[in-house]
Every structure is written in structure tokens, then in C-alpha cells.
Chain A
Amino acid sequence: AQSVTQLGSHVSVSEGALVLLRCNYSSSVPPYLFWYVQYPNQGLQLLLKYTSAATLVKGINGFEAEFKKSETSFHLTKPSAHMSDAAEYFCAVSYQGGSEKLVFGKGTKLTVNP
């Protein structure tokens, strides 16, 4: 069975500082990995995805993530936080042949301080 663990339910950074949100996955088959962002009272927006091509994936709004098979990790980073990055971030995993459903982590709420 697949699972996702997001370390840290709350992360706080200063504006301009590095953002690092951690995600570890468990999957017995090659995974497809995703990061989604959710702003208050809104739906989820896809930030970036890993689908077995390049291990370093660039997404929208300056975010990127690196797939590390040996560490079963897919951490999300952004070099310089902006106030508008304050939101909740979800890591998710799926795989082809697994009914294509997404399995989500519990989310990390990012606060950006001025």
C-alpha cells in the first residue's frame, strides 16, 4: 500500500528565506509524485509533478522538488519565500495501475513572516 508522510504540520519562515517542506513516500512500485497547494477555502492547485522523467522537477511560482529514490523523498523547496506563498501544501502519490487515485499526506501549513 502506498503512503505519504509530511514532516511538520506547520512551518514558519521569514520573507526571503528558504522554504523546505518535507515529504517521504512509501510505494512498492515506481511512484508518480505531486505537490499541491491549497489557499484558504479554495481547491487544490497542482504545483509540480514527478512522472519518472527528470528527478529535479520545476513547478509554478518558483517551487521545485527533487525525487530521491534512495531516500524515498520528494521535498519541496523555494529559494526565497514570498508573503503570497502562505498556504497549505500537500504531497501526494499515485501509480499507474493503482486505480490512479491520489494518496495524500496530511499537509503542511506554511506561514511567511514579514
Chain B
Amino acid sequence: NAGVMQNPRHLVRRRGQEARLRCSPMKGHSHVYWYRQLPEEGLKFMVYLQKENIIDESGMPKERFSAEFPKEGPSILRIQQVVRGDSAAYFCASSPSGTGWYEQYFGPGTRLTVT
């Protein structure tokens, strides 16, 4: 059973470009979470999605950031017009619904560098 997959693992973007980060949850998991890790800081929650629904986006910056988890395909975190401050590691996690909902499994992360 494959774990949570994220791609790309490393992404370099120039200021003003768009970044698209992809996350495929573990098989059978319907809940996806995105977290951001800035240097010397812990992980900060960004958004929680279920298929075709955003459940909690309280951690998402108000502008330039969006997320989706379509009926088919991976979850996408999209950052428009990137700035240097967006440079960070972005982690996706997934969990099942019902029993075991609290156990989140993390992917290897996407390290975004904005030049």
C-alpha cells in the first residue's frame, strides 16, 4: 500500500510565477490536509479538504493561495504570483474517515524555493 505521495519534491519558481503542488492520499483515505513548514518553525495548518469540499481553510493566506481535492485525481495546492516569503516545505497528510480519523499520514513534502 503506497503512502502519501507528493510531487514535485522540489520546485523552483521565480517571483510572480505560479506554483502547483500535488498530493495523492493513501488508498482509502478521503481526508487531506496541507501544512507549511517555514525554517526554524513547526508545521502550520493551512487547509483541510474532503472530496470536492473545503472543510476548514482557516490557515490559508487570504490571497494567492487556493486548494482543491477533486472527485478524481490528486489534491492541488496552488500559489499564484509567488513571493520569496512563500519559500517553505509544504506537507500533505491524509487520514481515513470514521475509525482512525485522527491518525494523519504525511507525505515527503514539496520544497518550494522562490528566487
Contact = CB atoms under 8 A, between A and B. Distances in A.
Contacts of B12: none
Interface in A43-86: 43-46, 49, 51
Nearest to B102: A32
A22 interface: no
B48 A94 contact: no
B48 A43 contact: no
A52 to B, nearest CB: 10
Query: How many A residues are at the interface, by size bracket?
Result: 20 to 34
A94 B56 contact: no
Contacts of A49: 102-103
Interface in B88-102: 91, 93, 95, 101-102
A41 B104 CA distance: 19
B42 A100 contact: no
B67 to A, nearest CB: 13
Query: How many B residues are at the interface, by size bracket?
Result: 20 to 34
A101 B45 contact: yes
Contacts, number: 59
Contacts of B33: 100-102
Contacts of B103: 46, 49
Interface string B31-61: 1010100001111110010000001101100
A100 B101 contact: yes
A45 B45 CA distance: 17
Nearest to B41: A106
Interface of B: 4, 31, 33, 35, 40-45, 48, 55-56, 58-59, 91, 93, 95, 101-109, 111
In the A-B complex, the 10 residue pairs with the smallest Cβ-Cβ separation, listed nearest first, are A99-B56, A104-B42, A43-B106, A44-B106, A101-B45, A106-B42, A43-B108, A104-B43, A32-B102, A107-B42
